[in-house]
Amino acid sequence: MSQRLVRRPATHQLDVGSPLLGRLYAGRGIRHLDEIDCSLQRLLSPGTMLGLAPAGELLAACVSGQQRILVVGDFDADGATSATLMVLGLRAMGALQVDYLVPNRFEYGYGLTPEIVLLAAGIDTPAQALGDACPHLIITVDNGISSLEGIALAKSLGIKVLVTDHHLPGDVLPAADVIVNPNQPGCQFASKSLAGCGVAFYLLTAVRQALRALNWFDPTIRAAPNLADYLDLVALGTIADVVVLDQNNRILVSEGIRRIRAGRCRPGITALLEQAGTDPRRLVSRDLAFGVGPRLNAAGRLEDMSLGIECLLAPTIEDARARAGHLDELNKARRLIENEMKAQAQLNLKLQHNLTAGGHRTGVCLFNDDWHQGVIGIVASRIKDQLHRPVFAFAQTTDNEMKGSGRSIAGLHIRDALAVIDARNPGLILKFGGHAMAAGLTIKASEFETFARLFDEQASASLSQADLERVLVSDGAPGVPVDLPMVREMLEAMPWGQGFPEPLFDGDFEILDQRIVGQRHLKMKLLSGNQTFDAIAFNQDRLVEGRNKHMAYRLDINEYRGRQTVQLIVEAVDVFL
């Protein structure tokens, strides 16, 4: 498929010692050198984060009083890193009774539900007497802002609740003791793009400060921990959650990656990097996104995210390797399930295409009786990339209900779209939540067609034809010789990711050779000028017709048997300006 290409305007040149990097930074809106300063001194002050100081004091009182603390996480990589970070950080500060709980997505659903509260309290009904194991305080990480019923139940049982989250709140906030969420009304914290692990990191800094005020730390008994040592977890969770890499997030990720490269990271992250075949000394953000994140997420998608958390908590590399091996097997199983579901989705799309007289809906909804609810988010993402339209994929969860996971494109805030549909059609959506680009919901199984129609209408009202045109934004030609030192400098210069995209180049190539590898990827040998390149186009399972093509590509380094070579990752084989 041909795709239109636009090139980033070169409005100014930033003098960073490298003409290429200066141009790349300028194309991403950087105008001053301090905007690419990723030192910890540039981190935003915690003082403007609403609720952070009282949250730190509440948690410090629990730690110093050795009260029971339960961390309730989410079943994705951000939730896993957030829970691990909170458990390790509190234990390092001297908490002796801190544990975690992650809801099994297939039994309890998302967030601090009433069922999770009862499980945490060790009772079957609210009328039962609480046992000795009941927590004094529940901390939610990467969830909780929409858990109104669960938090109300916890409070009625006498359990204090501290919510830390980054998801967008609804019209009503939960009745927690304290809420820390940069997106809650009234919060003046400048970065609204913190991941859940970023919020948890800031909370730990407040806890440490409050404990210092209590004279809790003593170098001879209990030293105050250096929280920067936990930034490997923050880097992983931030990249895996695909939040916008504003300067504050770039600092957190850059410092975390720097520590991983130096060998100062959790044994669990080291073991997961081994499974991905990545040398930690040359780690870049892409390795976390496509190597570590999916293996960690596989636990929550197919079984239980506690498997991933236990890997991250593992105290030794031997223990971590065993757990990482299991996660790798789960990820392989996830890929098989995903491939089957994607093939079924293609048949579903073909049927919809025929029913709509040759055109896809603007907002696409897909459903199959056999789909695995842990994988529908990936399928929605794959189809969104294919169609360049917002997509929801649904799986049946009970006889009466189904869950959907959605992915969007620029121009449609998918969580807000659900809010509009919900306000206009009370009772249609049982619950929902999410971000601008990703959201989830639960509906009655009988309402699928109604929701599909309403979502298409909302997407059509929000998106123009220009929005639906797939456009690649290129940095043009590299303009410098493409060799290993150049590619390495570019990849390691800055954490690239959402909102601060990895460089994309374009140019003319002659295809010297091509073949399908792994049943779904196109391997090519390309000629440009007098230089040949190895190249791969992921998830393209057809050979290219014709010999000369204008391609859009990213630069990578491939390592095979100890030998490193430049490799092009082809994003589009046939593009036009």
**pLDDT of residue 217 exceeding 60:** yes
**pLDDT for position 2:** 60
Helix then strand then coil, % of the chain, to nearest 5: 40, 20, 35
**pLDDT of residue 357 exceeding 80:** no
Are 14 and 94 members of one domain?
no
Half-sphere exposure of 202 (CA within 13 A, CB side): 30
Q: By the 8 A CB rule, do 574 and 1 touch?
A: yes
108 band by pLDDT with thresholds 50, 70 and 90: confident
**pLDDT for position 14:** 86
Query: Of 433, 468, 503, which residue is a domain's last?
Result: 468
Are 566 and 492 members of one domain?
yes
What CA–CA distance (Å, rounded) separates 326 from 425?
Answer: 44
| Of the listed ranges 35-44, 120-129, 175-184, the one predicted with least confidence | 120-129
Are 87 and 186 members of one domain?
yes
Helices 448-462 and 414-424: crossing angle, nearest 10°?
120
- Mean pLDDT within 279-288: 94
Torsion, Cα 23 26 31 37, to 10 degrees, reads -80
Are 83 and 224 members of one domain?
yes
What is the torsional sign of CA 268, 274, 277, 280?
positive
Per-residue pLDDT tens digits for 298-308: 999 999 999 99
Asked, for residue 199, whether it belongs to a domain, the answer is yes
Q: How far is CA 560 from CA 260, 295, 485, 565, in A?
A: 22, 22, 17, 8
Are 77 and 195 members of one domain?
yes
Asked, for residue 265, whether it belongs to a domain, the answer is no
- Mean pLDDT within 459-486: 93
**pLDDT for position 354:** 58
**pLDDT for position 1:** 47
Q: What pairing do the DSSP bridges indicate for beta strands 505-517 and 69-72? A: unpaired
The per-residue DSSP string of 157-213 comes to: TT-EEEEE--SPP-SS----SEEE-TTSTT---S-----HHHHHHHHHHHHHHHHHH
Are 464 and 568 members of one domain?
no
Asked, for residue 257, whether it belongs to a domain, the answer is no
| Of the listed ranges 13-22, 107-116, 137-146, the one predicted with least confidence | 107-116
Q: The tokens of 277 are what?
A: 């075949």
What CA–CA distance (Å, rounded) separates 143 from 441?
Answer: 15
Are 30 and 170 members of one domain?
no
Q: Which residues lie across from 566 on neighbouring strands? A: 557
**pLDDT for position 554:** 97
**pLDDT for position 71:** 97
Q: Which domain holds residue 538?
A: 3-37+471-576
- Mean pLDDT within 178-189: 97
Asked, for residue 179, whether it belongs to a domain, the answer is yes
Q: What is the mean pLDDT of the chain?
A: 93
Query: Of 468, 490, 510, which residue is a domain's last?
Result: 468
Asked, for residue 130, whether it belongs to a domain, the answer is yes
The total domain count for the chain is 3
**Three-state SS annotation for 257-300:** HHHHHCCCCCHHHHHHHHHCCCCHHHCCHHHHHHHHHHHHHHHH
- Mean pLDDT within 234-252: 96
Asked, for residue 110, whether it belongs to a domain, the answer is yes
Q: The tokens of 89 are what?
A: 């950080």
- 506 vs 9, residue with greater confidence: 506
Are 25 and 119 members of one domain?
no
Q: By the 8 A CB rule, do 495 and 538 touch?
A: no
CATH number, domain with residue 26: 2.40.50.460
**% of the chain residues with pLDDT over 70:** 98
CB under 8 Å to 253, separation ≥6 — which residues? 234, 235, 238, 239, 245, 285, 495, 497
CATH number, domain with residue 451: 3.10.310.30
| Of the listed ranges 136-140, 248-252, 354-358, 557-561, the one predicted with least confidence | 354-358
**pLDDT of residue 356 exceeding 70:** no
CATH number, domain with residue 90: 3.90.1640.30
Are 408 and 455 members of one domain?
yes
Rg of the chain, C-alpha, whole Å: 24
- 334 vs 219, residue with greater confidence: 334
434 band by pLDDT with thresholds 50, 70 and 90: confident
Query: Of 232, 259, 290, which residue is a domain's last?
Result: 232
- Mean pLDDT within 547-560: 93
* Amino acid identity for residue 372 in this structure: H
**pLDDT of residue 570 exceeding 50:** yes
Q: By the 8 A CB rule, do 35 and 16 touch?
A: no
**pLDDT of residue 559 exceeding 90:** no
3-state secondary structure of 368: coil
Are 58 and 33 members of one domain?
no
Are 443 and 515 members of one domain?
no
Asked, for residue 301, whether it belongs to a domain, the answer is no
What CA–CA distance (Å, rounded) separates 102 from 111?
Answer: 9
What CA–CA distance (Å, rounded) separates 24 from 554?
Answer: 13
Per-residue pLDDT tens digits for 491-501: 999 999 999 99
Are 435 and 489 members of one domain?
no
- Mean pLDDT within 60-68: 97
Q: By the 8 A CB rule, do 299 and 105 touch?
A: no
Asked, for residue 323, whether it belongs to a domain, the answer is no
